[in-house]
Structure 1
Amino acid sequence: MNRRDLLKTALAGTALGAFGPAFRADAATGILWMTWENLAKDDYLAPFIAANDISLTKTFIGTDDEQFAKLRAGGADSVDLITPGLDKVEYYTASDLLQPIDFARVPNAAKLYDTFKQTPLGKVDGQTYGIPFYWGINPIVYRADLMEAEPDWSVFFEGDAYNGKLAMRDYALEGIMIAAMYLGIPESEMFTMDDRQLAEVKKVLKIQKSKLRTYWNSIGDLTNLFATGEVVCAFSWVPPYYELRAKGIDMGMAKPKEGVIGWCDTIAVPKGVEGARLDAAFALVDYLLGPDYGKMLAVGGPYAQSTSAARDLLSDEQQDKIFVKDLSVMDSFVWKQNPPRYGDWVALWNEVKAS
């Protein structure tokens, strides 16, 4: 996303305060979807609009926290559909902001990949409140022309060959997860680590800090650091891999056997949406999990939806690009969760950075 798109997203996200019941389209046919701008492109939604007597208004978010704050502040009165992260749904349900998904109204949900059917995230007492929508991975991206071999998480903690040429995202949750994976702490314990385990994490994170070129916040800045060779290896999002390969740079993408951080956003319906609005909202949910939308998202994103609806419509190259050609990649996924002691995690992370 370029700066202009970021600005548009920020401005659109702040616009929700102007929406109230008086600003809603006809309640019988109109719905408002609060989501990420890249998911609601006009061409992605055109087939749905053409096939249904439904008017759709979109308002864009900049962060999940922003979306949650607006809904809790009263946005649920004017919003019919939202897009929370799979790991964030529990915040919404704890504040009684969502209603359960009525799967009878979402036939395409039957095509959810098994990983998303089985996940306990997004659920309360066996009911689903956030249905997995689209997903991806955050791997290790590296300059294959400047590294001797494909790295794993140990590159950020061991050896001296790449000191000063490594980068890590400045995000306590992911940074501590990576340290825990490196230490061999199982996923079942990762988000509830005790003081002894956190002390071990802190020790290796201090070693990591001594090896880093930088902690990154902007994926654009990280891409530039890769391009200049100032950074040769980073925990990253996927875009730098494809962007720099397109420019002729030999890039690699590693998915460490110790675990790969997976991410997934969901579709959720605020509590209080009912009648024709609810019918329209679930019609859109079903479309978003269906083949037409899935193919456009895969080609234009490129992102994978959480169902197999569009998979067979994609070329092998397109399937590989969004990680659905070989679904065994999900076997090593560690999904982000909300640690009960996250305040301690943030304090630990900040102490390491300041050391």
Structure 2
Amino acid sequence: MKRREFLTVSAAVAAGTLAAPALIRPARAAGKELRILTWEGYADDQWVKAFEEKNGATVSVSYTGSVDEIFAKMTASEGADFDVIAIETSSYKRLTQEKLLQPLDQSKLPNAKNLMPAFQKVAAVVFDGKTYASPFAWGSIPLIYSTDTFQTPPDSWEVLWDDKYKGRIIVMDDANNAIVTTALTLGIPDPFNLTDEQFGQVKTKLLAQKANVASYYAGFDDGVSIFAQGGIDLMMSMGEPQAPMLKKQGANVGLVIPKEGAIGWIDCWAISAKARDVDLAHQWINAMLDEAVGTYISSKTGYGNTTNQSVNVEAGLTYADKLVFLQAPEDFAKRIEVWNEIKATPVQP
């Protein structure tokens, strides 16, 4: 199960368990429609129905399975088929370069005042001094460790290179996340724009780590299954939900953001460059910045929200300011090539 699939299942289980805020319900205006392209779990029925009734509109939701699919659907009509989309920060550069998004009018987003400080100004969604998206949900790529082995949490990613844990480490099979995390470990200032020399440093470092790695895993369930079987002390995790999943299987684990920081992801709402009803699109984003929606996101999916800090605190999600949020890398194809070379290189005895 990957992050998107986990979000879908969690939201489906939770659907209807959290009431939407009370809303005035005017008569629906004929022909007023908002077209949304998003991930499952980000346009649940209670939000959609409440929004329709408050704004006298019809909401049409299209779900997507990947960032590439969003890009393909947006380019096919130059953005004319959708009014609002949800996408991760790492994809905004690509979309804005293709002129598929328009800047947000902050005066039309009064609920933006609810955004926590870490999400007030996210560099990845600002271009030419204009903000193109509003943060909605977030999470991280943390380090999970066995509390049976570690009396205190390990404080550095360097623990994954410690010979003491040889064969007791698992790492996700993900080129970009592995490279960015290693660049952070090496203290490289910009892990998303590596020079050839820095690529070489990262590759050498990851080859050294490979001798300690018991397995590269794919998906939430795969990582949890391997860890829970025993003999694993450390895991470069796919995200926060893996910790409670492991605890349910009887594993004693903790989660930590090392001192070098960790990758963070943010899903945001943005408006298509050719939105038919820009005002209605802003009204949707404003509704999604309601604290009640933030409560739902964190309470029912385990991910962080951007508007209700108290709920994040209850869930232990207090480290957004320690994260390095994903941006588009300098050459994604090169990163995949380097990662494949690392996996194909035999471990030196």
Give the % identical residues: 30
Structure 1 residue 224 displacement after superposition: 1.1
1:28 aligns with 2:18: no
Structure 1 residue 148 displacement after superposition: 5.5
Task: Please show how residues 213-228 of structure 1 align to structure 2 within 5 Å.
Answer: 213-228=214-229
1:61 aligns with 2:55: no
Q: 2:86 aligns with which of 79, 83, 88?
A: 83
Alignment deviations for residues 236-258 of structure 1 (CA, whole Å, 9 cap, x no partner) = 11111012224443111011011
1:354 aligns with 2:348: no
The DSSP-based 3-state class of the residue aligned with 1:178 is: helix
Q: Is the 8 A contact 1:143 1:226 kept in 2?
A: no
The DSSP-based 3-state class of the residue aligned with 1:272 is: coil
Give the 3 Å change call, closer, same or farther, for CA 177–228 of structure 1 in structure 2.
same
1:330 aligns with 2:320: yes
Q: Is the 8 A contact 1:38 1:301 kept in 2?
A: no
Task: Tell me which moved more, 293-302 or 91-100.
Answer: 293-302
Alignment deviations for residues 286-337 of structure 1 (CA, whole Å, 9 cap, x no partner) = 0101122122222112333323xx345x4xxx523151xx4xx233211222
- TM normalised by structure 1 equals 0.83
Q: 1:156 aligns with which of 139, 160, 163?
A: 160
Kindly provide the amino acid, as one letter, of the partner of residue 284 in structure 1: W
Kindly provide the amino acid, as one letter, of the partner of residue 212 in structure 1: V
Structure whose residues are more often helix by fraction: 1
Kindly provide the amino acid, as one letter, of the partner of residue 325 in structure 2: W
Partner of 1:245: 247
Partner of 1:170: 173
1:137 aligns with 2:140: yes
Partner of 1:18: none
Displaced runs of 4 or more, over 6 A? none
Give the 3 Å change call, closer, same or farther, for CA 58–230 of structure 1 in structure 2.
farther
Tell me, in whole angstroms, the C-alpha distance in 2 between the residues paired with 1:170 and 1:191.
Answer: 18
Task: Please show how residues 239-318 of structure 1 align to structure 2 within 5 Å.
Answer: 239-274=241-276, 277-307=277-307, 310-312=308-310, 314=311
Unaligned residue ranges in structure 2 (runs of 5+): 10-27
Q: Is the 8 A contact 2:240 2:302 kept in 1?
A: no
Alignment deviations for residues 49-106 of structure 1 (CA, whole Å, 9 cap, x no partner) = 3433122222211111211111112272221111111121111110110111111111
Q: How many residue pairs are counted as aligned between the two chains?
A: 323
Give the 3 Å change call, closer, same or farther, for CA 66–2 of structure 1 in structure 2.
closer
The DSSP-based 3-state class of the residue aligned with 1:220 is: helix
Give the 3 Å change call, closer, same or farther, for CA 2–129 of structure 1 in structure 2.
closer
Q: Is the 8 A contact 2:74 2:81 kept in 1?
A: no
Structure 1 residue 146 displacement after superposition: 4.2
Unaligned residue ranges in structure 1 (runs of 5+): 10-24
Kindly provide the amino acid, as one letter, of the partner of residue 168 in structure 2: K
Give the 3 Å change call, closer, same or farther, for CA 163–97 of structure 1 in structure 2.
same
Partner of 1:321: 315
Partner of 1:126: 129
